[in-house]
Amino acid sequence: MSSTLDSAGQRGAPEARKAGSRLNRLSADAACGNAEITGIQLAFCPWEDNGFPSLGHHGLVPNHGLLDAFAREYANNPHLTNTGAMRDSDPEMQDFFLLWLHNRLFNIVSGAESPPAPYQLDLSTPEGMGTAQWLAHLIGYYAAVWLRACWIEFEGPRNADVPMRDRWFSVLYKRNFDKAREVALNGSDAEAIAFSRGLLRKNTPQMARPQRITTLVRADRLIKKLNDRLPGDVGIFGFNAGFLRHILPPSLNAPTDATPFSEPYYTGDPNILFDAHFALPEVPFLTQARETYVATRAIGGAVASRLDEAINGRPGEIGLLARQQNWDTLAAALYRVGVPGATVYRGFDQAQYDRLLAWTSYSVMHNVAGGYNALSAYATQNAHLARQHITASTLWWTAILTYVVGCVDGRDDGLALSDTLARFITAERTTCQ
């Protein structure tokens, strides 16, 4: 399957730059109607560009056949919409990467679902883990393409424009993912359990400083600072849950004319650990994690003691609830009254606001599931669950940090969104958004 851009999608093509609005072609190109979808044609992304060798060096393994199978599965079966309803037509590329594949991948990691036949995704092997990381990388990159397009369309031009470079991804993986991958695949049971517990408060344990290569010095220092400040599972839950609360009415960051499809859309008490309730149906990986956690809390004895220690912290460790509250406070400071001098989401139309809320809701669901699994794995000393948690956390952070890097890359700012997202391939070998 070819993954190159067609003539309309070439970066900087004059025809595409005349398209005007980055979202103006979505109504015409968004759906494939009743055409039989057979696969995916990727638009530009760092993996497809020969200038990004680091992704392969860090173990990512492309599997276009599996990606095509996921596309067929999505298009040919009922799928959840951004408003909680099911539909079996009009597949949209925005939703495929941003929502559907994201949830499908984590349901597979949890063991609640299996990959589409005849493919396998054995996450206990380097190849399976690498393929899952590749999928997570694509999810994060296309999320960035989508959100930057929405910002430009609804809120005006972005000042930040820092072209992505291979060295950023090299250091990103070295600092944030390689250690977790190694522990999940090859660490002892005790190492996996300890690492899983550590992820509650930090993204990774302190890592050895990389070899000083001149081209990596600046990126290494910046990403080290970022890594030192990353919130871990409980912190990112507090931040994302706070963000979700503060993009809902009556916040100044809620769109002026758009409304959630349900009231209440989300409720959660930041003073209760991992408290979160959603209008969208709960995904299987969260249901499974919640049930395991409830069962763990009922055991008592040494299990209860370890659970309390993980929650309250050892000497010198901040309690999980305090860390959750700290990151909720940061989200409130950033989003409760709007970013000073600008808005971020107020101009979104109804369709993209529904998509933003759904994307954020599923992210919070993942954060809750990760926290529950880490606590259950440590309390019960369950190494299998610990490895599952480490894998899921690694994939989620792969997606979200790729998204963060992608959001400042303005190479496609002159193109319509339909030219910068991947496209479905139909049986007639045509492509559609």
pLDDT at residue 88, as a whole number: 86
Return the closest-CA partner of residue 355 out of 160, 149, 155: 149
pLDDT digits (tens, 9 = 90+) for 249-274: 988 888 988 999 999 999 999 999 99
SS3 of residue 17 by DSSP? helix
Task: Tell me which range, 28-32, 81-85, 378-382, is most confidently predicted by mean pLDDT.
Answer: 378-382
pLDDT at residue 19, as a whole number: 37
Identify any residues that bridge with 424 across adjacent strands, giving them in sequence order: 40, 432
d(CA 430, CA 416): 18
d(CA 201, CA 199): 5
pLDDT at residue 343, as a whole number: 61
Q: Tell me which H or E stretch contains 424.
A: strand 423-426
- First-to-last CA distance in the chain? 17
pLDDT at residue 21, as a whole number: 57
pLDDT(227) > 70: no
Q: Quickly state the pLDDT bin for 419 (edges 50, 70, 90).
A: confident
pLDDT(43) > 90: no
d(CA 26, CA 376): 44
- Cβ atoms of 111 and 388 within 8 Å: the answer is yes
Q: Where are the beta strands (DSSP E) in 216-328?
A: 266-267, 277-278
The DSSP 8-state label assigned to residue 317 in this structure reads P
pLDDT(13) > 60: no
pLDDT(25) > 50: no
Average pLDDT, the chain: 84
Q: Quickly state the pLDDT bin for 36 (edges 50, 70, 90).
A: confident
Strand 423-426 and strand 277-278: the pairing is unpaired
The DSSP 8-state label assigned to residue 211 in this structure reads P
pLDDT(161) > 90: no
pLDDT at residue 409, as a whole number: 85
Residue spans of the domains in the chain: they are 7-432
SS3 of residue 226 by DSSP? helix
pLDDT(177) > 60: yes
pLDDT digits (tens, 9 = 90+) for 290-345: 999 999 999 999 999 999 999 999 998 999 999 999 999 999 988 877 665 556 78
- Cβ atoms of 116 and 69 within 8 Å: the answer is yes
